[in-house]
Structure 1
Amino acid sequence: MTTGGLHALQAWLAHEADERDLELVCAEHPDPSRGELDRTVVRLSTCARDVAAHELVELLLVGAGRVSVRLDGCSDPAAAAAHLDPVMRMLRAGCIDRVTVETDLPDDAATNARRTVLDADRLPVSRRRLFGVSADVARNLPVPDEDPHARLVSAIRALVPAATPELTELDSPSLRLAARGCVACGVCVQACPPRALRIQHGSGGADIAISTLLQTPATCTGCRSCIDLCPSGVLEAVGPWPWSELLVDREVGVTTLTTASCERCKASFPTTSGERCCPTCTYRRANPFGSTLPPGFTMPGAPSTAR
């Protein structure tokens, strides 16, 4: 368990018999005890601006009926609201109204009795559960070490049964890629941390393949590692994928080209005229004893070619 996250709260909710309506407050909140009595108040170990989007959404899957993030006691409510805005827009686009962000204390909160405030990292365990006599409730918890983007996508898929029109218009973190002039070197595939890219080689005839660079939008995190490390400099982002594309598992073609397998090094290389060797091996065959000299340069003692 990592201090500052919501894993301990998720584990606690997963074993509660009934769903809880949660009210999350920042660690620096001076007095969150006043408010609606039917909510379970949980003080975070950090500010709301540091809450991970995937952990917030996952609360709805492990036992939270509703989640309210209260910013009236936050030291920087504008930053916290800006941090939470992308996930809130995404939830609204998916017609999920069980998470809210509250910037003001309710008008009647001062008249309510004081409530117990729980600590997100040290939550109470009932005696019945401690002694094993409570009902055995255990909802499935997300895998803590899984990629945060994958966890967020998985949670949204569980909450949104089908894409809504709003999700087709809402930008996701995933990048739509294009690669005019791709040489199918495969560096982008190796550079992608979440493995959102792969090259598929299909038969195109004798010693020729139709190679396609494929992307899985749901897996892409938008880190741009593939773009930054493309040795040819041809891979680019042409815009984000909409959130609706992340709700399904599918591959899309980034580019397609004709390739051949080099008869010397066996590497794939683009070809349009039936070459048998890749450019590197072709150059090495033409210059078996080293590199050619730069234009205009002559070795000392070599005869001059000037006229």
Structure 2
Amino acid sequence: MTTGGLHALQSWLAHEADERDLELVCAEHPDLSRGEPDRTVVRLSTCIRETANHELVELLLVGARLVTVRLDGCAEPGAAADHVDPVVRVLRAAGIDRLSVEPGGPAEPVGPAAPQEGVAGARRAVLDAHRLPVPRRRLFGVAASVARDLPEPEDDAHTRLVHAIRALVPTATPELTELDSPSLRLTGRGCVACGVCVQACPPHALRLQHGSGGAGIAISTLLQTPAACTGCRSCIDLCPSDVLRSAGPWPWSELLVDREVGVTTLTTASCERCGASFPTTSGDRLCPTCTYRRSNPFGSALPPGFTMPGSTTPGAPSTAR
């Protein structure tokens, strides 16, 4: 996916005095000079399916009144529609009808005087998404000063999409409570509070919280921030205890607020020997590993079913010298 593919267009819009009705078309469109006269048509440098969805939504924040994605000249209109459809559905579920898709199949080149079927015949200028015109008045500093805030470029794609939708959607609607988001609702029955999932989560959507339970015991809770989760499943795939599971996606309404939810809670203690946190219900002061080492200072555990020469007990350490 092209990172920053619409940054130049966003910057251009942010400095325009008036909001624009945009019409975005793929680079392969054969003839896009004809269409609705009140739209500002912009040719992308690639197909719309390679444009990040968060950048499309951000256009509505920096000076676009409406954004229409036109697919009548797209080489792969089905794939392009599937790519844009998730954000269109989110905005419409929130009651915002400012991003739309005009479907169609690949168009054949047409003559300069022949309008395409179903498209208004007015001629209009075609702008390049990466080489946009700058009025002379602005160059000489005599144009009206307009500068809308641009998105933070260092944020990841998921964070930018969530921030953009939050800016457009002040409160959740009933439809958003039924619309699945990319974020996963996690469960962790049997969790040992090892913290591997916390370290494995790229967007830092997980956190271990240890609260005092008295007498050296802690109440440990694995917390998840739904808005930060991208659904990458790294936490599930790397859980050493294989207990972290997905209970399905969070609804989009959960991503409109910053809050943490508990995945699982357990009683833990800090090992007096190695300092590691381990689950306990009996008040033990040593983790299972240190307990074994204290009981067997000169022994070692062998794989299950393995028998050392001279021993008849599977898994028993050898006493041979």
Q: Could you state the TM-score of these two structures normalised by the residue count of structure 2? A: 0.90
Kept in 1, the 8 Å contact 2:221–2:264? The answer is yes
Task: Map 1:1-307; keep pairs closer than 5 Å.
Answer: 5-104=5-104, 107=118, 109-110=120-121, 112=122, 114-293=123-302, 295=305, 297-299=307-309, 302=310
Q: Matched residues in 2 for 1:3 and 1:148: separation?
A: 8
Query: Against the structure 1 CA distance between its residues 116 and 304, is the aligned structure 2 distance closer, same or farther, given a 3 Å change threshold?
Result: closer
Q: Matched residues in 1 for 2:87 and 2:73: separation?
A: 21
Query: Against the structure 1 CA distance between its residues 291 and 99, is the aligned structure 2 distance closer, same or farther, given a 3 Å change threshold?
Result: same
Query: Against the structure 1 CA distance between its residues 75 and 65, is the aligned structure 2 distance closer, same or farther, given a 3 Å change threshold?
Result: same
State the 1:190 CA deviation: 0.5
Kept in 1, the 8 Å contact 2:28–2:47? The answer is yes
Residue deviations 1:225-276, cap 9 Å, x none? 1001100000010100000000011110000000000001111100011111
The CA RMSD over aligned residues, in Å, is 1.6
Q: Matched residues in 2 for 1:48 and 1:39: separation?
A: 18
Kept in 1, the 8 Å contact 2:271–2:286? The answer is yes
Kept in 1, the 8 Å contact 2:3–2:52? The answer is no
Q: Could you state the TM-score of these two structures normalised by the residue count of structure 1? A: 0.94
State the 1:3 CA deviation: 7.4
State the 1:106 CA deviation: 6.7
Q: Matched residues in 1 for 2:230 and 2:8: separation?
A: 26
Secondary structure of 1:264's counterpart equals: coil
Residue deviations 1:148-171, cap 9 Å, x none? 111111011110110000000000
State the 1:287 CA deviation: 2.4
Query: Against the structure 1 CA distance between its residues 88 and 296, is the aligned structure 2 distance closer, same or farther, given a 3 Å change threshold?
Result: closer
Residue identity matched to 2:165: I
Secondary structure of 2:68's counterpart equals: strand
Q: Matched residues in 2 for 1:256 and 1:106: separation?
A: 62
Q: Unaligned stretches of 5+ in structure 2?
A: 105-115, 314-321
Residue identity matched to 1:19: E
Kept in 2, the 8 Å contact 1:4–1:45? The answer is no
- Please, which moves more after superposition, 142-151 or 97-106? 97-106
What fraction of aligned residue pairs are identical, expressed as a percent? 78
Q: Matched residues in 2 for 1:225 and 1:108: separation?
A: 46
Kept in 2, the 8 Å contact 1:194–1:219? The answer is yes
Residue identity matched to 1:134: A
Residue identity matched to 2:196: V
- Extract structure 1 runs of 4+ deviating beyond 6 A: none
Residue number in structure 1 paired with 2:107: none
Secondary structure of 2:60's counterpart equals: helix
Residue deviations 1:188-225, cap 9 Å, x none? 00000111000111111110000000000011000101
State the 1:49 CA deviation: 1.0
Q: Unaligned stretches of 5+ in structure 1?
A: none
Kept in 2, the 8 Å contact 1:4–1:44? The answer is no
Kept in 2, the 8 Å contact 1:3–1:121? The answer is no
Corresponding residue pairs, total: 300
Secondary structure of 2:178's counterpart equals: coil
Secondary structure of 2:177's counterpart equals: coil
